[in-house]
């Protein structure tokens, strides 16, 4: 019987994920001469909340809990896609925007539920999702840190998202190499000598 050991905790991911979440409340840009926090700009919430979710994934040693946290990450992204779709449809009639918003909300709920109850989501899928989010977070924070009006919070977020990416890549590498190791040594076949 092939017994799978529980996932390892990843302290670097936990710390960098929490730090990225805290960056939601740090001064990042100077807009019109005033310090601006990311919390004042709701479309960016997904980047920082995703860091918190990755921290929860990395802190858990149970695959089931990691799946539920991964469902929260899926909820963040499906909600962000819905908001983008409604934003694109801003020129539509109000009733059509309302229908579009309801459709986006229904999609987010159905998709998140499907991810939460799926038994097919394993360590490789979760690690890949964390890596994808880390790449997006690094791109966003690099964009902010490259702005001439950046403030010290932009550097903290850039550092946190960089560590988040390397930690996610390490988790991804471990998940894929563990999967290959389990597939490389199949159970012996039972033979009956007659």
What six digits make up the tokens of 148?
Answer: 């001439």
Identify the residue with better confidence: 74 or 185.
74
Q: Which of 2, 45, 1, 48 has its CA nearest to residue 21?
A: 48
pLDDT of residue 189: 66
CA 67 from chain centre, in angstroms, equals 12
Contact status, residue 27 vs residue 39, Cβ threshold 8 Å = no
Q: How far apart are CA 78 and CA 96, in angstroms?
A: 20
Contact status, residue 85 vs residue 100, Cβ threshold 8 Å = yes
pLDDT of residue 63: 82
pLDDT at 122 over 60: yes
* pTM for this model (two decimals): 0.80
CA distances for 180 relative to 5, 70, 175, angstroms: 15, 22, 9
């Amino acid at each position: 019987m092939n017994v799978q050991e529980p996932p390892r905790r990843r302290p670097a991911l936990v710390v960098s994920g929490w730090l990225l979440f805290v960056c939601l409340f740090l001064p990042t840009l100077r807009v019109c001469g005033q310090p601006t926090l990311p919390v004042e700009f709701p479309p960016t919430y997904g980047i920082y909340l995703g860091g918190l979710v990755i921290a929860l994934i990395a802190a858990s040693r149970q695959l089931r809990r990691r799946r539920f946290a991964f469902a929260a990450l899926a909820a963040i992204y499906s909600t962000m896609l819905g908001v983008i779709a409604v934003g694109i449809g801003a020129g539509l009639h109000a009733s059509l925007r309302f229908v579009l918003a309801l459709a986006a909300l229904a999609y987010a709920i159905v998709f998140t539920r499907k991810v939460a109850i799926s038994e097919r989501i394993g360590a490789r899928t979760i690690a890949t999702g964390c890596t994808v989010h880390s790449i997006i977070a690094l791109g966003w924070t690099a964009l902010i840190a490259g702005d001439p009006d950046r403030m010290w919070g932009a550097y903290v977020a850039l550092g946190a998202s960089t560590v988040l990416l390397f930690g996610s890549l390490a988790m991804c590498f471990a998940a894929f190499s563990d999967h290959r190791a389990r597939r490389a040594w199949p159970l012996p076949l039972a033979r009956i000598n007659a």
